[in-house]
Amino acid sequence: MSKRDCYEVLGIAKDASERDIKKAYKKLAMKYHPDRTAGDKALEAKFKEVKDAYEILNDSQKRQTYDQYGHAAFEQGSGHHGGGQGDFGDIFGDVFGDIFGGGGGGRRQSRQQRGADLRYNMDLSLEEAVRGKEIEIKVPTWVGCQPCDGSGAKKGSKPKTCSTCHGAGQVQMRQGFFAVQQTCPTCSGQGQIISDPCKKCHGQGRVEKNKTLSVKIPAGVDTGDRIRLSGEGEAGVHGAPSGDLYVQVSVREHAIFTRDGNNLYCEVPIGFTTAALGGSIEVPTLDGRAKLKIPSECQTDKMFRMRSKGVKSVRSGAIGDLICKVVIETPVKLNERQKTLLQEFEESMSDNNAKNRPKEQGFFDGVKKFFDDLTK
How many other CB atoms are found less than 10 A from the CB of residue 265? 16
Q: pLDDT by residue for the chain (376 residues), tens digit each?
A: 447 889 899 999 988 888 889 889 888 888 887 777 777 888 888 888 888 889 888 888 888 888 877 777 666 444 444 444 444 444 444 433 333 334 444 444 444 578 899 999 999 999 999 999 999 999 998 888 888 888 888 888 888 888 888 888 888 776 655 667 788 888 877 788 888 888 888 888 888 889 999 999 999 999 999 999 999 999 887 778 889 999 999 999 999 999 999 999 999 999 989 999 999 999 999 999 999 999 999 999 999 999 999 999 988 889 999 999 999 999 999 999 999 999 998 888 877 766 777 777 777 778 777 777 787 7
**351 secondary structure, DSSP code:** G
In whole angstroms, what separates CA 72 from the centre of its chain? 50
Q: Mark out the alpha helices in the chain (DSSP H runs).
A: 6-10, 18-32, 34-37, 41-57, 60-69, 89-91, 97-100, 126-131, 272-277, 336-349, 353-356, 358-375
Residue of 340, 305, 334, 330 lying closest to 319 (CA atoms): 305
Asked if residues 326 and 349 have their Cβ atoms less than 8 Å apart, the reply is no
> How far apart are alpha carbons 84 and 359 in whole angstroms?
96
pLDDT at 311: 96
pLDDT at 179: 67
Residue 280 backbone class (left: φ over 0; alpha: ψ -120 to 50; beta: rest): beta
Torsion of CA 139, 115, 195, 193, to 10 degrees: 170
pLDDT at 334: 94
Asked if residues 248 and 119 have their Cβ atoms less than 8 Å apart, the reply is yes
* Domain 118-159+194-251 identical in fold to domain 258-329: yes
How many other CB atoms are found less than 10 A from the CB of residue 93? 21
For residue 279, the number of C-alpha atoms closer than 13 Å in the C-beta half-sphere is 12
Residue of 38, 176, 171, 19 lying closest to 99 (CA atoms): 19
Identify the bridge partners of residue 170 per DSSP, sorted by sequence position. 183
- Please report, for the chain, the start and end positions of each structural domain, with discontinuous segments joined by +: 6-100, 118-159+194-251, 258-329, 347-375
Among the four given CATH numbers 1.10.357.10, 3.40.1360.10, 2.60.260.20, 3.40.50.1000, the one describing domain 258-329: 2.60.260.20
In this structure, which topology does domain 6-100 adopt according to CATH? Helix Hairpins (1.10.287)
Asked if residues 169 and 190 have their Cβ atoms less than 8 Å apart, the reply is yes
- Return the exposure string of 9-33: e unless at least 16 CB atoms fall within 10 Å of the residue's CB, then b: bbebeeebeeeebbbbbbebbeebb
pLDDT at 238: 72
> How far apart are alpha carbons 171 and 177 in whole angstroms?
16
In whole angstroms, what separates CA 176 from the centre of its chain? 44
pLDDT at 339: 94
Contacts of 307 (CB under 8 A, 6+ apart): 321
Check if CATH label 3.40.50.300 holds for domain 118-159+194-251: no
